[in-house]
Amino acid sequence: MTNLRVSNEDPDDFFDRVLASKKNSPKDVNYKSRVNTYKPNIRLHFADYNHRFISGSLGTTPPQGYVDPVKKDLLRLYKYDTPLLQKLKVEVTTSSKDRVINTCQNCTINAVNSLDHILPKEELSEFSVHPKNLFPSCMECNGKKNRYWQDGGQLLFLNLYTDTLPNLQFLFVSVSFADGLPAVNFTIANPNGIDPLLYSIIETHYTRLGLLRRFEMNTNEVITNIEHQILVSKGRLARQDIIDIIIEYNNLNRSTLGFNHWKSLLSIELTNCQPYMDALFS
Ligand SMILES: [Zn+2]
């Protein structure tokens, strides 16, 4: 899990360009001129959003409560598979190494195939195409997040544009070995003193997206990789050297993929399970 870069798009310009890219339909020839009349108010809402984005107070954004037909018009602006939104997705997912991160950072399991509305578009349709309100995500995370976004003015999910992820461990994994198979159990906890407010968001993020269970469902590839690494290395290198290389490689991954990257932590913990290692090196 890593932060994505914040878009450089000017939100007002972006809104204008999205609107300009739309076409009036034969059944609704006044769509664009109608949305133009909403613009002065949208500008005000966007200014408020921009301020809250910087000050970390998006959780207390008051929904404007737009209802149809205005809400329907605003929602019509958003369509994932359009050039402007795809360009935005590429912009924010391009890493400092100029490579596109195509893994959903909300879960670090699935590929990105949607844009999540940080403030949900159903309740806050005024931000349906605010570029800083759109976060690349997989459909599974997007679906689990659904319409939930805040509780008591506190966001329920990490905002990976702005929340600084701690270089402290909060994700833990235990591996046991019985009947010739490794069994994996993920937990989260805060024994390392992460700021309680940030940790409470981490906790609701992981819980509501079902991440621990989803990690456990996806361990096969990680376990297979470790087994194959050991298989091709043993006989060439000493057992401890192989284990040291696996640990070093995965710690290096944590420096770019996230300090609490589940695959890296699992790989390391697999090498700490002595009975499992004994079986693989026998
Ligand atoms: Zn996801």
Query: Distance, CA 98 to ligand 1 centroid (Å)?
Result: 22
pLDDT exceeding 70 applies to what percent of the chain? 100
Residue 6 reports pLDDT greater than 90: yes
| pLDDT, position 96 | 80
Query: Distance, CA 70 to ligand 1 centroid (Å)?
Result: 30
Q: Is 226 exposed, middle or buried (0-12, 13-18, 19+ CB in 10 A)?
A: buried
Residue from 55, 204, 76, 58 nearest 118 by CA:
58
Tell me which residue has tokens 């929340």: 163
What's the CA dihedral at 66, 67, 71, 72 to 10 degrees?
180
How many angstroms separate the CA atoms of 1 and 257, rounded?
6
Determine contact, residues 134/49, Cβ cutoff 8 Å.
no
Residue 260 reports pLDDT greater than 90: yes
| pLDDT, position 259 | 97
**pLDDT single digits (tens) 148-201:** 999 999 999 999 999 999 999 999 999 999 998 999 999 999 999 999 999 999
Query: Distance, CA 143 to ligand 1 centroid (Å)?
Result: 9
Supply 227's token pair.
């087994």
Q: State the pLDDT confidence band at 69, using cuts at 50, 70 and 90.
A: very high
Query: Distance, CA 278 to ligand 1 centroid (Å)?
Result: 35
Which residues face 175 on adjacent strands?
184
Residue 98 reports pLDDT greater than 90: no
Determine contact, residues 202/194, Cβ cutoff 8 Å.
yes
Determine contact, residues 127/66, Cβ cutoff 8 Å.
no
How many angstroms separate the CA atoms of 162 and 56, rounded?
8
Residue 251 reports pLDDT greater than 90: yes
| pLDDT, position 52 | 97
Tell how strand 154-155 and strand 150-151 pair up: antiparallel
Residue 214's contacts (CB-CB under 8 Å, 6 or more residues apart) are 107, 109, 140
Query: Distance, CA 139 to ligand 1 centroid (Å)?
Result: 7
Between the two ends of the chain, the Cα-to-Cα distance in Å is: 35
Task: Give me the mean pLDDT over the 34-58 stretch.
Answer: 97
Query: Distance, CA 114 to ligand 1 centroid (Å)?
Result: 10
Query: Distance, CA 105 to ligand 1 centroid (Å)?
Result: 6
| pLDDT, position 95 | 80
| pLDDT, position 226 | 97
| pLDDT, position 97 | 83
Query: Distance, CA 142 to ligand 1 centroid (Å)?
Result: 7
Query: Distance, CA 162 to ligand 1 centroid (Å)?
Result: 18
Query: Distance, CA 160 to ligand 1 centroid (Å)?
Result: 12
Task: Give me the mean pLDDT over the 17-37 stretch.
Answer: 95
Query: Distance, CA 146 to ligand 1 centroid (Å)?
Result: 13
Residue from 201, 210, 146, 212 nearest 174 by CA:
212
Classify residue 119 by its DSSP letter: S
**pLDDT single digits (tens) 79-90:** 999 999 999 999
Query: Distance, CA 209 to ligand 1 centroid (Å)?
Result: 8
How many angstroms separate the CA atoms of 210 and 84, rounded?
31
Supply 255's token pair.
């420096």
Query: Distance, CA 72 to ligand 1 centroid (Å)?
Result: 27
Query: Distance, CA 89 to ligand 1 centroid (Å)?
Result: 15
Please state, as a whole number, how many other Cβ atoms lie within 10 Å of the Cβ of residue 34: 13
Query: Distance, CA 137 to ligand 1 centroid (Å)?
Result: 5
Query: Distance, CA 109 to ligand 1 centroid (Å)?
Result: 6
Residue from 149, 134, 139 nearest 7 by CA:
134
Task: Give me the mean pLDDT over the 60-80 stretch.
Answer: 97
Q: Where are the alpha helices (DSSP H) in 111-238?
A: 139-145, 196-208, 211-217, 220-233
User: Per the confidence metrics, is the pTM higher than 0.85?
Assistant: yes
Average pLDDT, the chain: 96
Q: State the pLDDT confidence band at 115, using cuts at 50, 70 and 90.
A: very high
Query: Distance, CA 25 to ligand 1 centroid (Å)?
Result: 34
Where do the structural domains in the chain lie, given as residue ranges? 11-146, 171-281
How many angstroms separate the CA atoms of 190 and 245, rounded?
28
Q: State the pLDDT confidence band at 242, using cuts at 50, 70 and 90.
A: very high
| pLDDT, position 70 | 97
Query: Distance, CA 281 to ligand 1 centroid (Å)?
Result: 35
